[in-house]
Structure 1
């Protein structure tokens, strides 16, 4: 529980950092997009494939979850956009895509909260296996919670002037590891379930990064600095994963 409190603080620090640099929003979005791509490529997908070898129809279960997560967020965004398009018949100045992107951002931010709950659960389960294993798992969780907080605020703020949803979801994300660690001392979750879930979560993050965050980052600002911010995000995750491994 004490270790999970460090994850709580790191998540808050990441969220506050995202809020403080909103004057350079294109750089924040570029960095967040890089962090998300790095987490998907260097962390979630490899970990999910290690957790389960089950392959329905000859395809690894996590990759089926990955495709489902990508399509899920796409369907959410398109459903909202279609709804707003019908409203535009009566209110022509409402922009459907912006509203849909905002809803997709909230869905992704909520997915980050669920993932943080599982991070805390992993800490609890790790300490069930022994102090050494628990410490290693806890350190791996703590070092990427800053990125989780940063990405939660960025996703929840996408195409939104109101910061309240971002603040609420940031606090939920920060407290989720504490709740998960408490739960992890009581229950055990099969890796056969966690593997496909991680794939699903990776698909959600990839869609948000590729379809919403990075296009928005490059829409009105110089591309070189934004590309550098994205590369920095990728490099940072690669470094963290390498150190944790």
Structure 2
């Protein structure tokens, strides 16, 4: 089931890459909804489930909460390191990208592929916890993978790489969640480890929503409709979580 659902992430990543080549004025609404779905999944479903599954405390704080914060901080650290590397290599010059650093674009795209692989593992792990959890995580990941596909194609081509290389990285990012979900068929996570992983992944998901997806959605279109899409995404996850319970 997890692998079948991961095929949705595969398709959504390709759709995101296709949209990167044909950007429309409605992209901000899609990203606003994606950010809301990711925020709702992290705060309303992943975190409570993680705390319940990994209830062990470390210095008075539930282990899952520590890993939730750790996931958020690690995602922030990786993003800052990539930004620092771009700056040190002259990737930005007066607000414009240096097109003579194609390897930097490939490295950033490879990081996105690795992230998509972890998305697939998260889907598989969530289905091990239960169908309701699996459906919620899958929905958040599939929606988020639109942005992954969009960003993978954009960042590869933005630094001067040929179109065929951008397409190759896009297909790698699309296949990664399927491979990640398939890997979970080979093992079953212990309950505490599963809760810890879901807590960590929830922190990463929250960072991606708060620091990347939502700011990008409102960057060029700070419209009320974008905010409504975000609220609708959170409300939908709340509804799905309530029905699953």
Pick the TM interval, shorter chain. Answer: 0.7 to 0.9
- 1:165 aligned to which of 164, 169, 187: 169
Deviates more, 1:206-215 or 1:15-24: 15-24
State how 1:34-73 maps to structure 2 within 5 Å: 34-73=36-75
Aligned positions, number: 226
1:169-208 equivalence runs, <5 A? 169-180=173-184, 182-184=185-187, 188-208=188-208
RMSD of aligned residue pairs (Cα, Å)? 3.4
Taking structure 1 as reference, are residues 20 and 183 closer, same or farther at Cα in structure 2, changes over 3 Å only? same
Partner residue, 1:113: 117
The 1-side partners of 2:47 and 2:114 are apart by 19
Question: CA-to-partner distance for each residue in 1:178-217, whole Å, 9 max, x for gaps?
Answer: 442x314xxx322222222212111111111111111111
Structure 2: give runs of 5+ residues left out of the alignment: 99-103, 158-165
Residues 168, 234 of structure 1: alpha-carbon distance in 2 compared, 3 angstrom cutoff: same
Q: TM-score, normalised by structure 2?
A: 0.75
CA distance in 2, matches of 1:216, 1:90: 18
Query: Matches of 2:18 and 2:232 in 1, distance apart?
Result: 18
Counterpart-to-counterpart distance in 1, 2:91 and 2:120: 40
Mapped to 2, the partners of 1:31 and 1:241 lie a distance apart of 17
| 153-162 vs 215-224, greater mean Cα deviation | 153-162
Partner of 2:9: 11
- 5+ unaligned residues in a row in structure 1: which ranges? 127-136
